[in-house]
Structure 1
Amino acid sequence: MSTILLVEDNPHIMKINSSCLSMEDYSVLEAADAAQCRYMLSNNDVDLVILDIMLPDGDGISLCREIKAKYDIPILFLSALSENDDIITALRAGGDDYLPKPYDIQVLIARVEARLRSVRKDKRYISFGRLRLDTVSMAAYFADNDLLTTQKEFSILLMLARNIGSTVPKAELYENVWGLPYSDNANALFTAVSRLNKKLDDSKADVTITYERGKGYALESI
């Protein structure tokens, strides 16, 4: 389930957008100003920010630059400012899309779907809590500390991080990481997971890899 952060000071618009996105099975977080936005981003794994430009404690353009400097998160602007210069300024500040108010809610939902499809295809960093995986350098970090994973250890973490909330069968995990047929004697998987959990434990990470007998492995918060 993708998580969307709505940054909007109009409670009526916030309620409508939040309700409609929730009905589309998105997890929705709400922030009425820039300060709440910063708090939500620092305490949650957000997939998309929907950002108003005019906020009671600042402007969305500056906030967009701030977000982009710290997070790899797409930003969709929603604003009553609809002049070409306003749109150009917002996009050049780092915005990924811009929808002027008033707008059709179905258009908003379609824009969200399109942006998230693009993110899933091209996203370099995948995060779960404070665990961050760099899919380009194939390095895993917890709170900016390199876990020094091997290529196969990283591949295990990546597959589990892409299936949060689900249990990945042993055979599927082994065959995807090792590229070999799975057998009940695939001790390499057990050994690699044990090493990973030790690295996570040594780093005092708030995540661990769990095993459910007869089902498989999952990445979970602790």
Structure 2
Amino acid sequence: MNHQVLLIEDDKELANLISRFLSQNGLDVTTVNTIAQFKTGYSQFHPDIILCDVMLPDGNGFELFPMLKKNFSCPVLFLTALDSDRSQIKGLNLGANDYLIKPIRPEVLLARVNNSLRLSGKGEASKAIGPVKLDTAHRTLICHNQQINLNDDEIRLFTLFFQNYPTPLSRETLFKEIIGREYDGLDRAADLKISRLRRKIRDHGIEGLDIISIRGEGYLLQIPNEPHA
């Protein structure tokens, strides 16, 4: 079954171009042009990913975002002509998975969509390393019969750790893949997300499961009964 894309875009010509290109590359696209249209039919949508314009004729995507996250657990990407740092930071701080500036090459858009799908674990129900199983369908991490319930950020972080294991994740990688921008050497946004996830793991007290810091390299998911750096 193809991944389902919900596109919220008022520029009908652009929406048709995006829909046609993504459809040609194996994605099923449903398009709405206004917030009102979305609200009328949102219960019928079952998206794996949402592309949302910021400037819409009856509101903006930033204001719509809480409703999107309340009703769907999938990644949300802002697609907009607003290219100021302030707008990008606002969108990412709200919790968007990416912020794409128009005009954007179709191939780049497709790559960013596929990357967000990959990081969210869509289409791949579970992954395992040793005794640790990441179940994205049920939004859980299971180890030694103990279960940790995960939110969107935590699923994306664990997916990234699993994909790179046993290589530590650098701050540069975390910023690019999770925060959505290049690391400037000072921003602690990625460290804060790791700190929260590490605290959650330790609160569950699963012996041998942890996130450890590797000096000069970044962060490593420590797996019980598995060697680590």
Quick check: 1:91–1:97 contact (8 Å CA) kept in 2?
Answer: yes
Quote the offset at 1:27 in angstroms.
0.7
The residue aligned with 2:4 is 3
The answer to whether the aligner puts 1:134 opposite 2:135 as a matched pair is no
> Which residue type is aligned with residue 86 of structure 1?
S
The answer to whether the aligner puts 1:23 opposite 2:27 as a matched pair is no
Structure 1 unaligned regions, length at least 5? 125-132, 139-150, 152-222
The residue aligned with 2:76 is 75
The residue aligned with 2:155 is none
1:76–1:123 CA distance, 2 compared to 1 (3 A)? farther
CA distance in 1: counterparts of 2:116 and 2:36, whole angstroms: 25
The residue aligned with 2:62 is 61
Quote the offset at 1:70 in angstroms.
2.8
The residue aligned with 1:194 is none
Quick check: 2:4–2:27 contact (8 Å CA) kept in 1?
Answer: yes
Quick check: 1:31–1:40 contact (8 Å CA) kept in 2?
Answer: no
1:37–1:123 CA distance, 2 compared to 1 (3 A)? farther
**Counterpart mapping for 1:37-186 below 5 A:** 37-120=38-121, 134-136=138-140
The residue aligned with 2:158 is none
1:91–1:122 CA distance, 2 compared to 1 (3 A)? farther
Structure 2 unaligned regions, length at least 5? 126-136, 146-229
Quick check: 2:48–2:122 contact (8 Å CA) kept in 1?
Answer: no
CA distance in 2: counterparts of 1:137 and 1:115, whole angstroms: 20
CA distance in 2: counterparts of 1:121 and 1:11, whole angstroms: 28
Quick check: 1:65–1:94 contact (8 Å CA) kept in 2?
Answer: no
1:19–1:53 CA distance, 2 compared to 1 (3 A)? same
CA distance in 2: counterparts of 1:122 and 1:136, whole angstroms: 16
Q: CA RMSD in A?
A: 2.7
Quick check: 1:91–1:98 contact (8 Å CA) kept in 2?
Answer: yes
> Which residue type is aligned with residue 59 of structure 1?
N
Quick check: 1:8–1:51 contact (8 Å CA) kept in 2?
Answer: yes
Larger Rg: 1
Q: Percent identity?
A: 33
- Count the aligned residue pairs: 133
Q: How does the TM-score come out when normalised to structure 1? A: 0.54
Give deviations 1:135-189, integer Å, cap 9, x for gaps: 4299xxxxxxxxxxxx9xxxxxxxxxxxxxxxxxxxxxxxxxxxxxxxxxxxxxx
The residue aligned with 2:187 is none
CA distance in 2: counterparts of 1:122 and 1:18, whole angstroms: 20
Give deviations 1:23-56, integer Å, cap 9, x for gaps: 0011100000112223443112110000000111
